[in-house]
Amino acid sequence: MNKDVLLVLITILVALVFDFLNGFHDSANSIATVVSTRVLSPKLAVLWAATFNFLAAFFLGTAVAKTIGGGMISLEHVDQYVVMAGLFGAIVWDLLTWLWGLPTSSSHALIGGYAGAAMMHAAIHTGTASIFSVIIPSGWYKTLIFIVVAPVMGMVLGLSFMIAAHWILQNKPPQLVDKWFRKLQLLSAAAYSLGHGGNDAQKTMGIVAGALYTAGFMTKSDMLSNWGRFRWPIILAAHAAIAAGTYFGGWRIVRTMGQRITKLKPLGGFCAESAGAITLFGTALAGIPVSTTHTITGAIVGVGSIHRLSAVRWGVAGRIVWAWILTIPASAVVAAATFLLIHLIHPQG
C-alpha cells in the first residue's frame, strides 16, 4: 500500500477514534437529564441517545463541518501530521477530564488541538513570527463568542421555559404534571441528542475532509462544495462513530451533569433538553461549532435557578467553567508538543 494512502487512512482512523471518544465523553450531555429524572434507565437512555445521534446525519447538514474543515485554520499550514497531532491533543484532554469527571467540551478540545499543531507547524517551517498566520479570524470570532453565548442561550431558554410551564400548569396536580412530562421528556431527549449528533459529529467530518484534502484526494472546489464522492462516506462514518461512543457512555460525567449541578424533575428535564436542542439546531444550521456541554450545562443551571439561586451548586458549576476556560489552550499545548515530537522523530512532519 502506498505510504501516503496508509497515512491518510491512519489519520481518518484516529479522527473516528476521537469521534467515538467525543460520544463517550459527551454522552452525559444527552442522557444525564433523562436518567436523573428516572424517565429512562441508563441502558435505554444511551440507546435512545445513540439512535438520534446517528439520525442527525440526515437532518442538520454540514455547515459546521465546513467551518472546522477550512474556516478556522489556513489549509496551507495543515498536513497529515498536523491533523494527527491535533487529534491527539484533543483525545488526551478528553480522557483527562473524563477521569476528573468534568463535562468539558470535546469540540473546543478539537479546535484547540488543531490550532496548536498548525501553529507549531508554522513555527518550525516558517518561523515563530508566522504562528498566528495559521488562524482565520472570521472562523474563530464566532466560535469564541459562542463559548459565552451558547450556555447563556441555554440558560435563558431553560429559565424561560420553566417560568412559562409553571404559569401554564400552576393549577395542575404535581403528580399529573410529572406523568405528562415523563412522556414528553422522551421527545426532548431525542431532540437534544439529534442536536448533539448534528453539531459534534460535524466537527470530525470537517477534520476528515481536511485530511483527505491535504493528502490530495479532494480538490479545493470539493472542500468548498459538497466533498464530491466522499460526502456520504464521511457523514455516515462520523455519525456512526459518535453514536457508538454515546452508546458505551461516560458514566462519571452523568453524575455531575444530572445530579450535582441541581436536582431535576421531569418538567425541569424537559425544559433543559428543549432549551439545549433549540440552541444546537440553530447553531448547527448557521455553521457555528458550539459546545454541546456548555449548552446543556447552561440550560440545567437556568432550570435549577427558577426555585432559588441556591438550588444551583455554584461550586460545581465554577469548576466546570474553569475547565471550559482551560480546554482550548491545554489541548493546543498538548497538540503542539506532539507535533514537535513527530517532527523530531520524522523531520518531514
**Per-residue pLDDT tens for 224-250?**
677 878 889 999 999 999 888 888 765
Its sign, for the CA torsion 53, 58, 63, 67, is: positive
Strand partners of residue 135: 73
pLDDT recorded at residue 258: 47
165: in domain: yes
Provide the b/e sequence for 34-48 (b: ≥16 CB within 10 Å): bbbbebbeeeebbeb
Element spanning 5, H or E: helix 3-36
DSSP 312: S
pLDDT of residue 105: 74
Domain that holds residue 101: 3-343
What are the average pLDDT values for consecutive 10-residue runs of the chain, which has 349 residues? 78 88 71 74 80 87 79 80 88 80 74 91 86 84 83 91 89 86 88 86 86 81 77 91 81 52 74 91 86 81 72 57 78 91 76
Q: Is residue 335 part of a domain?
A: yes
Report the Cα–Cα distance between both ends of the chain, in Å, rounded.
20
With respect to residue 100, please indicate whether it lies within any of the assigned structural domains. Answer: yes
Q: What's the confidence (pLDDT) of residue 116? A: 92
Dihedral, 120, 123, 124, 126 alpha carbons, nearest 10: 140
Confidence at residue 333, expressed as pLDDT on a 0 to 100 scale:
92
Q: Is residue 349 part of a domain?
A: no
Based on its alpha-carbon atoms, the radius of gyration of the chain, rounded to whole angstroms, reads: 20
Nearest CA to 15 among 193, 150, 215? 215
CB 97 within 8 A of CB 323: yes
Residue 288 region by backbone torsions, left for phi larger than 0, else alpha for psi between -120 and 50, else beta: beta
pLDDT tens digits along 22-39: 787 666 666 777 777 777
Instruction: Judge contact between 192 and 40, C-beta under 8 A.
Output: no
Q: Tell me what pLDDT residue 252 has.
A: 53
Domain count within the chain = 1
Cell numbers for 259, please give them: 445530579
Query: Is position 11 within any domain?
Result: yes
